[in-house]
Amino acid sequence: MPKMKTKSGAAKRFRFRASGSIKRSQAFKRHILTKKTTKNKRQLRGITEVHFTNEAAIRTMMPYA
């Protein structure tokens, strides 16, 4: 039986914390920033946790993480 491969797109987007939760970066911060308010852009900084409804799908994409 061959090894299962990690989805490379998922490996670039998600990281696992020591507690087991999955962290991700915020979306909507790449372009068309002139029409977004300063407050909105500031709140999009940093990282957030993946919603629990999506965790199972991400864990199947990253079997060895």
pLDDT digits (tens, 9 = 90+) for 9-49: 999 999 999 999 999 999 999 999 999 999 999 999 999 99
Q: What is the Cα–Cα distance from 27 to 41, expressed in whole angstroms?
A: 10
* CATH architecture of the domain with range 8-61: Irregular (4.10)
Q: What is the Cα–Cα distance from 6 to 33, expressed in whole angstroms?
A: 33
Backbone angles phi, psi at 48, to 5 degrees: -135, 175
**What Å distances lie between residue 10 and 2, 37, 43, 58, CA to CA?**
20, 30, 24, 7
With 90 as the cut, is the pLDDT of residue 1 above it? Answer: no
pLDDT at position 32: 96
Q: What is the Cα–Cα distance from 43 to 38, expressed in whole angstroms?
A: 9
Per DSSP, the three-state class of 25 is strand
pLDDT at position 14: 98
